[in-house]
Amino acid sequence: MRIISKGQYLYRSILILILILQKALASEIDNVNLQVTRYIDKSWSLLTRDNWVQSSEDPKLLTDELIVYLPKDENIKAVRQKNIKCSQIKFKYLPRDYTQIKKHGLLFLPYPYIVPGGRFNEMYAWDSFFIELGLLNNNRFTLAKGMVDNLIYEVLNYGTILNANRTYYLGRTQPPVLTEMILAYYQKDPNKLWLKSTLPAIKKLYHFWTSPPHAIPNIGLSRYYSDGEGPTPEESPLYYEKVLNYFKTHSITDYDKKLFYDNQHNKLTRFFYIADRTIRESGFDITAKYGPFGIGILDYAPVDLNVLLYKMERDTQKIYEILGDSKEAMLWKDRANIRVNNINRYLWDESTGYYLDYDFKKKKRKFYPFVTTFYPLWAGIASKEQAAAVVRHLPDLLKKGGIVTSLNNSGLQWDAPFGWAPMQYFAVLGLEKYGYKKFAIEIAGKFINTVNSGFQKNHAIFEKYDVNTLSTRTDNKIKYSYATNEIGFGWTNGVYLVFSKFLEQSTSVKD
pLDDT 10s digits, 161-207: 999 999 999 999 999 999 999 999 999 999 999 999 999 999 999 99
Residue 296 CA to residue 368 CA, distance in Å, equals: 13
Q: Is residue 373 part of a domain?
A: yes
Residue 357 sits in which domain range?
210-383
Q: How far apart are CA 182 and CA 9, in angstroms?
A: 61
| Number of structural domains found in the chain | 2
Are 342 and 398 in the same domain? Answer: no
* Sheet-wide strand order for 66-70: 89-93, 66-70, 106-107
| Residues 235 and 334 reside in one and the same domain | yes
Residues 244, 222, single domain; the answer is yes
In a domain, 19, yes or no: no
Q: Is 122 a catalytic residue?
A: no
The catalytic residue among 127, 132, 154, 285 is: 285
Q: Is the pLDDT of residue 483 over 70?
A: yes
pLDDT digits (tens, 9 = 90+) for 368-403: 999 999 999 999 999 999 999 999 999 999 999 999
In a domain, 471, yes or no: yes
Backbone dihedral angles phi then psi of residue 466, each to the nearest 5 degrees = -80, 110
Residues 399 and 379 reside in one and the same domain: no
The C-alpha atoms of residue 155 and residue 174 are separated, in whole angstroms, by 12
User: Catalytic annotation on 285?
Assistant: yes
pLDDT tops 50 at residue 21: no
Domain assignment present for 303: yes
Pair 379, 301 in one domain: yes
Pair (372, 306) in one structural domain: yes
Angle between helices 421-433 and 437-458 (to 10 degrees): 160
9 found inside a domain:
no
Q: Which of 415, 463, 466, 486 is catalytic?
A: 463
**Residue 5 pLDDT grade (very low, low, confident, very high; cuts 50, 70, 90):** low
- Residue range 290-310: average pLDDT? 99
- Smallest CA-to-CA distance from 133 within 194, 183, 173, 176 is with 183
User: Which alpha helices (DSSP H) does 48-168 contain, by range?
Assistant: 52-56, 76-82, 127-137, 141-158
pTM (2 d.p.) = 0.93
| 251 and 363 inside one domain | yes
Q: Point out the domain boundary residue: 337, 361, 383.
A: 383
